[in-house]
Amino acid sequence: MKKKFRKSIGSDVPTLVFFYATWCTPCKLMKPTVLQIQEEMGNALNSLEIDVEIKKGIVKRYNVKSVPTLILFKNGKPLWRHSGVMPVAEIKTAINDRI
């Protein structure tokens, strides 16, 4: 997973990383939102899901303190982040404003 993570966030295709926990109710609400964004944006956006209980090194590296958290990466650099539930349209606007 580390290799896939590094390759994906290092790509010139933006990558939306969804940090979640299985016990997190807001995360369960956000999962369909993230899937919808990926579907609508197609090849213009990669996406990854990171379980904060399993991938603690990645969580620590990117200072994820709460879930759900979304971080948008391009060429290895974080361009945007948001913690908490957010509507599809607002996430898409945030992504499009930065890519």
Domain boundaries, the chain: 2-98
Say yes or no to pLDDT of 3 above 90: no
Angle, vertex CA 48, rays to CA 42 and CA 53, nearest 5: 160
Active site residues: 24, 27
> What rounded mean pLDDT belongs to the chain?
94
Render pLDDT for 39-80 as a digit per residue (tens, 0 to 9): 999 999 999 999 999 999 999 999 999 999 999 999 999 999
- The Cα 39–Cα 61 span in angstroms is 28
Q: Which class in CATH covers the domain with range 2-98? A: alpha beta
Residue 86 burial (10 A CB sphere; 0-12, 13-18, 19+) = middle
